[in-house]
Amino acid sequence: MDDWYRIPIGTWGKEAFNWFQDTFQWLIDFCSLVVESAVAGLVGVLLAVPFPVMILLLALLGWTLRSWQLAAGTVVSLLLVVSMGFWESTMQTLGLVLVATLIAVILAVPLGILAAKNDAVSAAVKPVLDFMQTMPAFVYLIPAVLFFGIGFVPGIFATVIFALPPGVRFTELGIRGVDGETVEAGYAFGATPGKILRGIQLPLATPTIMAGINQVIMLSLSMAVLAGFVGADGLGKDVVSAVSTQRLELGIEAGLCVVIIAVYLDRVTAALGNRADYPASLLAKLTKKKKGGGVLTATKS
Helix 68-84 to helix 248-289 angle (10° resolution) is: 160
- Percentage of residues in the chain with pLDDT exceeding 70? 89
Cα–Cα distance for residue pair 282/286, rounded to 1 Å:
6
Q: What angle do CA 154, 111, 286 make, to 5 degrees?
A: 130
Tell me what the pLDDT averaged over the chain comes to: 82
- Residue pLDDT, tens place only, 236-246: 888 888 888 88
When divided into structural domains, the chain yields a total of 1
Cα–Cα distance for residue pair 115/122, rounded to 1 Å:
4
Examine residue 292 and state whether it is found in any structural domain, yes or no.
yes
Examine residue 194 and state whether it is found in any structural domain, yes or no.
yes
Cα–Cα distance for residue pair 10/123, rounded to 1 Å:
26
Residue 222 confidence (pLDDT) above 60 = yes
Examine residue 92 and state whether it is found in any structural domain, yes or no.
yes
Higher per-residue pLDDT: 265 or 232: 265
Examine residue 18 and state whether it is found in any structural domain, yes or no.
no
State the pLDDT at residue 153.
Answer: 85
Examine residue 4 and state whether it is found in any structural domain, yes or no.
no
Cα–Cα distance for residue pair 126/40, rounded to 1 Å:
34
Examine residue 51 and state whether it is found in any structural domain, yes or no.
yes
Q: What angle do CA 16, 22, 24 make, to 5 degrees?
A: 95
179-182: list long-range contacts, CB under 8 Å, 24+ apart: 179/204, 179/284, 179/287, 182/284, 182/287, 182/288, 182/295
- Residue pLDDT, tens place only, 48-81: 889 899 999 999 988 988 888 888 989 999 999 9
> Domain containing 232: what range?
24-300
Cα–Cα distance for residue pair 294/233, rounded to 1 Å:
52
Examine residue 13 and state whether it is found in any structural domain, yes or no.
no
- Which pLDDT band holds residue 110 (cuts at 50, 70, 90)? very high
Examine residue 16 and state whether it is found in any structural domain, yes or no.
no
Cα–Cα distance for residue pair 297/299, rounded to 1 Å:
5
Residue 133 confidence (pLDDT) above 60 = yes
Domain containing residue 57: CATH number: 1.10.3720.10
State the pLDDT at residue 293.
Answer: 46
* C-beta separation of 98 from 247 below 8 A: no
- Averaged over 159-182, what is the pLDDT? 87
